[in-house]
Structures are given as C-alpha cells and as structure tokens.
Structure 1
Amino acid sequence: MATTHLLRVKSALFVHARRPARSLLEGEYASLFHGRSLDYDDLRGYVPGDEVRDIDWKATARHDAPLVKRYVATRKHHLLLVADTGRGMAATAPSGEPKKDVAILAAGLLGYLALRHGDLVGLVRGTAEHTEAHELRGTEGHLEVLLRAIDAATDLEGEQSDVAAQLQWVVRHVRRRTILLVLADDRDLGPELEALLRRLRAQHEILWLTVEDADPTLVPAAVGTYDVADGYALPAEVRLDPRVREAYSAERVRRVEATATLLARLGIAHGRVASAEGVVPAVLALLERQRHAR
C-alpha cells in the first residue's frame, strides 16, 4: 500500500522530535494558534509565562501579588491552506525534489498540529485560471484528502501559477476570521498582491511560506533544464556562464529581500523553505515569528 502524505508528516515530526536540539514539537507548541475572544472571564494570580499585557494593574495595586485577566478562549480555529497548484510549483526545489512535495509536507505539518488541538482545516488551491475550495473539517482523513488534492492538481503540464487568484477567492468568500497558510511559488509580489494582502490582513491572520526554486546556474551541464513558466530550454553554455550566474544570484537576492520587506511591512509572518528536510525547522521558525509578532 502506498505511503500516505500524512504518514510522511508524522515521520518528519518524529525524526525532528528525537533530535537533541529541540524537545517534542507538540510540547513546544501546545497551543498552536494563540487567541482570545473579547469576553472577559475573571482574574487569577500571575504565574511565570503569562503575558505582561494581561496583568490587571488596577487590581494588582489593591493586592499583594500581580493578577492577570482571563478571557473565554475561542474553542476552534479555522486554518485555511492556500496552495498554489500551478505548474510553477511542479518545478524543482534546490534539494532536487519537486517543489510540490515540499509544499505538501509543510501544509500537512501545520494542518496536523492544528487538528491535534481541535481546530478545523480546509484548502483553497488553484492556478492563474481556476480556483477550487475544499471545506473545513477536523479529521486526519480529511487532511489526507486535502494533501492528495494538492498533489494531484500540481503538474508540469498544468496552468500558470498565480496565488493572487486564490487570495482573491478568499477575499470574496471567507467572512469568518481565519488563519491562512499561504504556500507560494518563488516570485516577485506585485502591487496587486500587496493590495490583496492588505485587505486580507485586516480580517485574517496570515502565515506565508515561499517554496524556493532550484538555481539553474548550479545544475550540471549534462542535465537538461527549462523554464516551466514558458517551456523554453536553458542552454548549458548560457546558464553556466559566470556572468549569468552572477546576475542570477544578484536578482535572487533582490527578490528575497523585496519579498521579506513587503511581508514584514504588512505584519505577515513569513519564511522560506528549500527542501522537505527543512520543512519542520522552517515551520517552527515561522510559528516563532508569528508568536513574537503578537
């Protein structure tokens, strides 16, 4: 029987949890998506680890010890995986793996952690021309269906990538406050996308993960390469030219910095991942940035 995507996710978590550098992942992120409703509940004594902003200073002034406010917590969060399944995500990652395999593992990891804490997971996937939505549910079987949908839809013969189309769908159809995990191709974020993100950021919480492209100037001459966006072959004598390599490297640095600057300005936690092996550390770092941003 074929290995399921969710089994790969659990295996990656197990391997990472056994490394001495970190304790068990679920232990470190026992509450994956922190949140509170506006419903005040009561006061209790301060304990180490409580947020300083939760201290009720007026009540504390009347007592010998600090007191913190407690709120009625929202029981279920909605996690919506927003996946680019255009042919750009069927290209090769720096590790030599298909980029879609890296994206599926990242989606499965965050989805699995959400399910472990009782949250619901859904999916919006598509290309520049078509967008498909899958409902929110809270079971591992449903998450496996979502991951298989990403896998089946992402093909080198598919349509062009444009995650802006999927984000536009979210703007039009998702009304409830939702956590969005955007799995994006490695490309410039233009003015249209910036405007979309500004609208979405006002209502939703956004996590952005870019799946990196392989560097064609580092691929051996014997290996044929082509641009999946337009199908043009990249001759070895051109892409291995030192001047081309230098120009490509400079352009990549510019694109990475521009993307990071834009997302930081919008208050969106973001990260980059180049391999399946790097997914767990990348997602951990992404969640840590999200936590500090709050």
Structure 2
Amino acid sequence: MPSLLRRVKSKIFIFAHRRTLTLLDGEYGSVFKGRSLDFDELRAYVPGDEVRDIDWKATARHGSPLVKRYVAVRRHAVLLLVDTGRNMAAQALSGETKKDIAVHAAGVLGYLASRHGDDVGLLHGNSVDSKYLPPRSGEEYLERLLREVDASALLDSPASGIAEQLDYVLRYLKGRFLVVVVADEFLPDAGTENLMRRLRRRHEVLWLTVRDAELAAEAGSRMQDSTDVATGQGIPWPLSVDATVRAAYASAMLERERRRRGLFNRLGIAEEQTTGSENVLTAVFSLLEKHRSGTFNARTSAKGGTRAG
C-alpha cells in the first residue's frame, strides 16, 4: 500500500517552496514560545546573569544571591485529535471526502512536529468510542497514525461526536499537550463548549475545521438529491434549486458561521477552516499564525475561504 505520509510530503513540496516551509517551521515553533525551558538547579549569581532569574526566597535563606538555571525542553508532545465519525466519510466542499482531507491535515501537522523533534500521538473516534495512541517519535509511527485515521472514518461508522474525544482527554490524559483538533464542521452545544473551555485551560489548543459540501445543489447542476451522511436526511433536487429555499439555506449557514466564529473567539481558541487538500497548507499556516498572535477574529469570509499565507 502506498505510503500516506509520502503522499502528504509530496503535496507539501508541490504546493510549498522553501520560504513557505521556513515560515511554517517558524510558526510551528512559536506555539511553544515561553514554554521551552524547565528548571534545572540553583547556582551562585555571577555578573551578567539576568536579575529576573534570581530566586529571592532561596537567596534569603542562603544569604547570597542564587539564580535559577534552566534546560531547554527538546521534545514536546503533540496530540492529533481527529474526528473519525461517519460525518468524515462525507464529501467536503472540494469534492474530496473529509477523511482524505483530515489525513492530509494530520500529516502536515505531524510532519512539522517531527521536523522539530517532537513526539506525535493520536486520539480519534466518534460519538460512541475513542481510541488513543500515545505520542512517539519517528516518521514510521506517524505513518501508522495516518493509516489509523484513514481506516476509521467509514460510512457505517457511528456519527461524529467530538465531545467524546474532548472528554477522553480531560479524563484520562496527563501532562500538557499541543492539541490539534481536525474535525467536521459543526456548531458546539453548551456541553461541548464547556469541554472546549476546560481543554483550553489545560493545553495549547488549535482547531482545524473541514468544511461541509453544499447540501443545496446549484441551479443547472445534474438532477441528484443531496444527503446528509450524519442523519440520512436529504434535500430533493427540485426543492434544492428553488430560489426561496436556497436563500433560506444560505442565510441559515451564515448565521451558524457567525455563531461558530463567536464561540471560538470567546474561548480563545485559534480556529481555521479548510475546504480541500490543496487548501490545507494555507489553512495550517493561518491557524498557527492566529495562535501565535492571539488574534482569533475572523480573517475569512463567512464562506470560509482563507487568505494567502
């Protein structure tokens, strides 16, 4: 079977030149800015040491100035939290399956982490169950994670329910992670919002949304009903091309998007949307940039297009 990671890397090098990769590396590295040092020991102050490194309590006990020494943390833990419910077997806005886009997005983010020497793990599942593969290093392990995602999001799987995976992290996983969520487009309810808030307090959280296909077919398209994979409900083709129905549908989608953006802004979670695999690099760059700068206001239109990175 062809390597999924090799396919991801091929797309990266097709759509990104060296400067783009350098920028992506820089934005990824900035996620851990201010969290890359661990306390090592105390030692005597010498001229040239930073005054802010003086441990005043230890100095008072010892009688002479002592400074804290730190060592760099050379490896961080990145958790790819991927929706593999039935919703992800549906078609995305680009015409690809959402699962294929999720594999590509997870591959890009995992590859960036591997380039920085970080461990990468996976938590995936649906509304019924979750499966956890702990963070480890190496591209062979990353390939295993991508295959796990690829094999799990099926049309006969239970529906998506990201709250199940958020709850799993909060209940069972110890330590601090960079949690990168790759999920279906949805509007969180109050319970899910509370889980997202708690997750944000404990971990660095980035959120990448895979955009839905349009349920309402455009006028002039071939005569085919649209179906929501998650619920089995559909819109008959004659109804979907009705101007009044289409206007109501567009208005509802705009309102839902406004509420989604407001929720992520309120929680302080950087979120970006991707419409297809060709858009993933741009979306990832924008997502990392938003997280670094702390600006979560929408830079995109309500239709979800991303600005060029």
| TM superposition score category, shorter chain reference | 0.7 to 0.9
Could you tell me which amino acid in structure 2 is paired with residue 150 of structure 1?
V
Greater shift in the superposed pair: 32-41 or 119-128: 32-41
- Distance in 2 (CA, whole Å) between partners of 1:8 and 1:257 is 35
Q: Residue 66 of structure 1 aligns with which residue? A: none
Aligned pair count? 274
Residues 91, 212 of structure 2: 8 Å contact kept: yes
Q: Residue 246 of structure 2 aligns with which residue? A: 245
Q: Residue 7 of structure 2 aligns with which residue? A: 8
Q: Residue 264 of structure 2 aligns with which residue? A: 263
Deviation at 1:218, TM superposition (A): 3.2
Q: Residue 118 of structure 1 aligns with which residue? A: 117
Residues 44, 70 of structure 1: 8 Å contact kept: no
- Distance in 2 (CA, whole Å) between partners of 1:167 and 1:100 is 19
CA RMSD after TM alignment: 2.8
- Distance in 2 (CA, whole Å) between partners of 1:146 and 1:119 is 15
- Distance in 2 (CA, whole Å) between partners of 1:176 and 1:167 is 15
Residues 181, 208 of structure 2: 8 Å contact kept: yes
Residues 142 and 23 (structure 1 numbering): CA distance in 2 closer, same or farther, change over 3 Å?
closer
Q: Residue 175 of structure 1 aligns with which residue? A: 174
- Secondary structure of the residue aligned to 2:235 is coil
Deviation at 1:258, TM superposition (A): 1.2
- TM score, norm. by length of structure 1: 0.85
Q: Residue 166 of structure 1 aligns with which residue? A: 165
Deviation at 1:224, TM superposition (A): 3.8
Q: Residue 254 of structure 1 aligns with which residue? A: 255
Is the radius of gyration larger for structure 1 or structure 2? 2
Residues 17, 25 of structure 1: 8 Å contact kept: no
Greater shift in the superposed pair: 175-184 or 249-258: 249-258
| Pairs within 5 Å for 1:15-54 | 15-18=14-17, 22=20, 24-25=22-23, 28-29=26-27, 31=29, 33-34=31-32, 35-37=35-37, 39=39
Q: Residue 304 of structure 2 aligns with which residue? A: none
Could you tell me which amino acid in structure 2 is paired with residue 234 of structure 1?
I
- Distance in 2 (CA, whole Å) between partners of 1:117 and 1:43 is 33
- Distance in 2 (CA, whole Å) between partners of 1:11 and 1:120 is 22
Deviation at 1:29, TM superposition (A): 4.1
Residues 43 and 74 (structure 1 numbering): CA distance in 2 closer, same or farther, change over 3 Å?
farther
Q: Residue 108 of structure 1 aligns with which residue? A: 107
Deviation at 1:27, TM superposition (A): 5.2
1:74-95 residue CA offsets vs partner (Å, 9 max, x unmatched) = 2211111111111111111111
Structure 1: segments with no counterpart, 5+ residues: 46-53, 57-68
Deviation at 1:164, TM superposition (A): 0.5
Residues 126, 166 of structure 1: 8 Å contact kept: yes
- TM score, norm. by length of structure 2: 0.81
Q: Residue 229 of structure 1 aligns with which residue? A: 230
Deviation at 1:19, TM superposition (A): 8.3
- Distance in 2 (CA, whole Å) between partners of 1:12 and 1:94 is 19
- Distance in 2 (CA, whole Å) between partners of 1:155 and 1:289 is 32
- Secondary structure of the residue aligned to 2:29 is coil
Residues 86, 126 of structure 1: 8 Å contact kept: yes
Could you tell me which amino acid in structure 2 is paired with residue 134 of structure 1?
L
Deviation at 1:71, TM superposition (A): 5.5
Q: Percent identical across equivalent pairs? A: 40
- Distance in 2 (CA, whole Å) between partners of 1:178 and 1:230 is 33
Could you tell me which amino acid in structure 2 is paired with residue 125 of structure 1?
H
1:28-77 residue CA offsets vs partner (Å, 9 max, x unmatched) = 447263233363999999xxxxxxxx996xxxxxxxxxxxx995332211
Residues 17, 24 of structure 1: 8 Å contact kept: no
Structure 2: segments with no counterpart, 5+ residues: 53-67, 296-309
| Pairs within 5 Å for 1:16-165 | 16-18=15-17, 22=20, 24-25=22-23, 28-29=26-27, 31=29, 33-34=31-32, 35-37=35-37, 39=39, 72-165=71-164
Residues 201, 266 of structure 1: 8 Å contact kept: yes
Deviation at 1:250, TM superposition (A): 1.3
Residues 84, 185 of structure 1: 8 Å contact kept: yes
Residues 211 and 55 (structure 1 numbering): CA distance in 2 closer, same or farther, change over 3 Å?
farther
Deviation at 1:256, TM superposition (A): 1.6
1:227-247 residue CA offsets vs partner (Å, 9 max, x unmatched) = 112223421011111112111
Could you tell me which amino acid in structure 2 is paired with residue 293 of structure 1?
G
- Secondary structure of the residue aligned to 2:209 is strand
Residues 31 and 55 (structure 1 numbering): CA distance in 2 closer, same or farther, change over 3 Å?
farther
